[in-house]
Structure 1
Amino acid sequence: MNNVVNLSHKKIEIEKKREREKLNKPDALTIKLWRLSMEIDDLIKKGVLDDSLPPDEIAAIIAHRLGTLISCSEKSVELSEFCCHIIERMNSSRVTGEPA
């Protein structure tokens, strides 16, 4: 009888673990955005490392493009503030390689 109870508990634990894993899986939009982010990073690194483009010039181009993107948003003020917050976090002192 004790074995049946233990197996039942294990089955419940396994089901709970599967449910947690499902909740933690990224959705399709998150995956697409992550891929886009990686492509942008690759372009920036290629521009700086391979094509010897100055990082400040690339930043200026990205800022201009970001301004265009923000202007298309229904909540442009909030998006602009959010972007400023992200830039400030990225620019704060942190260990290199540490996530923003």
Structure 2
Amino acid sequence: MGEIVHLSQKKIEKEKKLSKSKKKAPDAQTVRLWRLSMEIDDLIKKGVLDDSLPPDEISTILAHRLGTLISCCDNPEELSKFCAHIIERMNSNRNTGEPA
């Protein structure tokens, strides 16, 4: 009988560990940002594929828009460095045409 109780306690401990290790559901802001990201990706793909816009011109437009966004934040230097870091990391770790 003691062995059954011991196994039951192990099962309960294992379930507790699993529940702690599970990722939390994303919050509403994360979901909204993800959807915005997907919409931007769709617009870029449509511009390149359907409208035959050159990727370098789309990149120029996005860089200008990013500059406008950076100018609205509290710490533009830090955000600029962060964006540059993300761009460098994305370029060094992926093949051309691979999704971000």
TM (normalized to structure 2)?
0.85
Counterpart of 2:45 in structure 1 is 45
Counterpart of 2:21 in structure 1 is 20
The residue type equivalent to 1:31 in the other structure is: V
Question: What is the distance in 1 between the residues matched to 2:15 and 2:93?
Answer: 42
Q: How many residues align?
A: 98
Query: Is the counterpart of residue 73 in structure 1 residue 73 in structure 2?
Result: yes
Identity %: 60
- Where do 4+ consecutive residues of structure 1 move more than 3 Å? 93-99
Once the two structures are TM-superposed, the CA of residue 93 in structure 1 deviates from its matched residue by: 5.6
Counterpart of 2:12 in structure 1 is 11
Counterpart of 2:56 in structure 1 is 56
Q: Which runs of 5+ in 1 are unaligned?
A: none
Q: Which runs of 5+ in 2 are unaligned?
A: none
Q: Deviations over 1:58-85 (max 9, x none)?
A: 1111011000000000011000011111
